[in-house]
Amino acid sequence: MRSNLVYSAGLKIENRFLLATVVMRAVRKLHIDSTRTEDTTNRVFSEVAGGKYVTVQMPTVVAAPAIEPLLIAPAA
């Protein structure tokens, strides 16, 4: 059953690493100690498949600074 939920949620968030991150964060926030973690995970996957957490976006990639300015000048 969960594989169907993962597939359905994967149609909404195509990047599987982003999907895993969204689901993990949502499960951490929504989980109640008296319930099973599996039930919370299934609920989150079904909500993602329904379009509830789909407004996530990939973070912008920042270019690394050039290495030359970071070099230490030799003492002369």
Residue 69 has pLDDT above 70, yes or no: no
Residue 62 has pLDDT above 70, yes or no: yes
Q: How far apart are the first and last CA of the chain?
A: 70
Banded pLDDT at 41 (limits 50, 70, 90) = very high
Separation of alpha carbons 15 and 56, rounded Å: 11
Separation of alpha carbons 59 and 76, rounded Å: 44
What is the distance, to the nearest Å, from the Cα of residue 23 to the centroid of all Cα atoms in its chain?
6
Instruction: Tell me the pLDDT tens digit for each residue of 4-35.
Output: 989 999 988 888 998 999 899 999 999 999 99
**Distance of CA 12 to CAs 15, 42, 65, Å?**
9, 16, 34
The percentage of the chain sitting over the pLDDT mark of 90, rounded to a whole number, equals 33
- Residue 52 is predicted with a pLDDT of 77
